[in-house]
Amino acid sequence: DGGITQSPKYLFRKEGQNVTLSCEQNLNHDAMYWYRQDPGQGLRLIYYSQIVNDFQKGDIAEGYSVSREKKESFPLTVTSAQKNPTAFYLCASSPNEGGDFNQPQHFGDGTRLSIL
């Protein structure tokens, strides 16, 4: 089945530690996105990538880093510089095929990150 796989489902971070959240898709989508959701709030864009080896900062990129070395993979690193990382992290992708950037995004199941 095609889809977006995020791992792990739950993650705990110690003070001063960097952690990496995995996002893999087998939908052959060009664009991938990372969002953060805090309790009772909407989604805020962290980073996005429209094509391999290229990515752009979203609204809340500080304290996060990404890479896009392969079309199917878009890992997110939460660095120690992110002082309040506890949140629900969602990865999404969209096709953008034929230059059509109006296709909807589809989401993975998310990763819950907490501070130890």
Partner 1 sequence: QKEVEQNSGPLSVPEGAIASLNCTYSDRGSQSFFWYRQYSGKSPELIMSIYSNGDKEDGRFTAQLNKASQYVSLLIRDSQPSDSATYLCAVKTSYDKVIFGPGTSLSVIP
What is the residue type of 89?
A: Y
State which of residues 10, 109, 114, 115 lies at the interface with partner 1 (CB under 8 A).
Answer: 109
Site string for partner 1, 78-97 (x = CB under 8 A): ------------x-------
- Of the candidates 73, 90, 79, the one whose C-alpha atom is nearest the C-alpha of residue 36 is 90
Return the structure tokens found at 58.
Answer: 């979203």
- CB of 53 or CB of 56, closer to partner 1: 56
As a whole number of angstroms, the distance between CA 51 and CA 71 comes to: 7
- Of the candidates 18, 17, 21, 25, the one whose C-alpha atom is nearest the C-alpha of residue 7 is 21
Q: Specify the stretch interacting with partner 1 by CB under 8 A; choose among 11-19, 62-70, 78-86, 104-112.
A: 104-112
Could you list the residues that contact partner 1 (CB under 8 A)? 33, 35, 41-43, 45, 90, 101-102, 104-110
